């Protein structure tokens, strides 16, 4: 049974992915909300919970502790704060990079020996904003462009690993509700992808046959 570590596993895409993988993988669920992580773990066949802030100095090492071999690392944690460049201060940009890029980098670095041992698979949940930057999305899009660069470089530098960048459009999550509220819009869950749809794409990438390297997966909501 292969082992997969998931970040952002307490809710949204991370929780949906944990449930989608539960029947065929031993899971390590990482996040900051212990109660929410335990609730997800209760839905899984085999799951261990690690409470860690991956932006802290010791968070990545705490999440990686005791893992000698790792078949899959799925980065689902992320934040999105909107605002036009003229109105956003440097702290917002720093937060976006710390959570969306640096935490991904540091946890991946901590787990590289374990991933190399298993010839494992790194899956990074990016965004449509990793390809297209729109007004008001500066700090978020910039971090997601940087995250795409990270996955491209990792793929070249670690040829024994598979590295998949997943780019969903808007997804029905708590984060999406906050975004729509910031935009002043009316929330319509049916206009977005479900977390389960993204989780299914992540599982498909992880389950790819050994000769296949799914480098990028792009998902968009269908009109309804």
Q: Indicate the domain borders of the chain.
A: 2-219
User: For position 1, what pLDDT does the model report?
Assistant: 66
Residue 181 clears pLDDT 80, i.e. is over it: no
Burial group, residue 118, by CB count within 10 angstroms (0-12, 13-18, 19+): middle
Dist. CA 78–CA 219, nearest whole Å? 18
Segment 143-166 shows an average pLDDT of 98
The larger pLDDT score, comparing residue 181 to residue 15, is at 15
Q: Which CATH fold topology does 2-219 show?
A: Rossmann fold (3.40.50)
What is the per-residue pLDDT across 193-205, written as a single tens digit (0 to 9) for each?
A: 999 999 999 999 9
CA distance 92 to 55: 14
Percent of the chain with pLDDT over 90: 88
The length of the chain is 224
Residue in 150, 132, 134, 146 with CA at minimum distance from that of residue 93: 146
**Residue 198: its pLDDT value, please?**
96
Whether residue 189 is predicted with pLDDT greater than 70 in this model: the reply is yes
Tell whether the model's pLDDT for residue 154 goes beyond 70. yes
**Averaged pLDDT, 44-69:** 97
pLDDT by residue (tens digit) across 206-220?
999 999 999 999 999
pLDDT at residue number 186: 82
Taking only the tens place, the pLDDT of each residue in 125-140 is 999 999 999 999 999 9
Percent residues over pLDDT 70 in the chain: 100
Q: Is the per-residue pLDDT at 192 higher than 80?
A: yes
Confidence (pLDDT) at 85: 97
Q: What are phi and psi of 9, to 5 degrees?
A: -85, 0
Cα 70 to Cα 80: distance, rounded to the nearest angstrom = 29
Higher pLDDT, 176 or 89: 89
Neighbours of 218 (CB within 10 A): 14
CA-wise closest residue to 31 among 49, 12, 13: 49
Q: What is the mean pLDDT of residues 70-81?
A: 96
**pLDDT score at 173:** 75
The reported pTM is: 0.94
């Amino acid at each position: 049974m292969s082992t997969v570590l998931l970040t952002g596993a307490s809710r949204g895409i991370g929780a949906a992915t944990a449930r989608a993988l539960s029947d065929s993988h031993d899971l390590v669920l990482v996040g900051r909300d212990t109660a929410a992580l335990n609730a997800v773990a209760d839905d899984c066949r085999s799951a261990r919970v690690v409470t860690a802030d991956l932006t802290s100095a010791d968070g990545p090492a705490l999440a990686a502790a005791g893992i000698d071999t790792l078949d899959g690392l799925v980065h689902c944690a992320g934040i999105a704060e909107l605002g036009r460049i003229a109105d956003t201060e440097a702290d917002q940009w720093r937060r976006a990079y710390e959570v969306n890029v640096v935490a991904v980098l540091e946890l991946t670095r901590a787990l590289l020996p374990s991933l190399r041992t298993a010839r494992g698979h790194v899956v990074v949940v990016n965004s449509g904003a990793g390809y297209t930057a729109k007004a008001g999305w500066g700090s978020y899009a910039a971090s997601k462009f940087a995250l795409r660069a990270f996955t491209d470089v990792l793929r070249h530098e670690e040829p024994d690993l598979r590295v998949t960048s997943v780019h969903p459009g808007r997804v029905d999550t708590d984060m999406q509700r906050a975004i729509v509220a910031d935009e002043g819009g009316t929330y319509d869950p049916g206009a977005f992808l479900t977390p389960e749809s993204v989780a299914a794409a992540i599982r498909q990438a992880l389950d790819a046959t050994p000769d296949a390297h799914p480098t990028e997966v792009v998902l968009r909501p269908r009109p309804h």
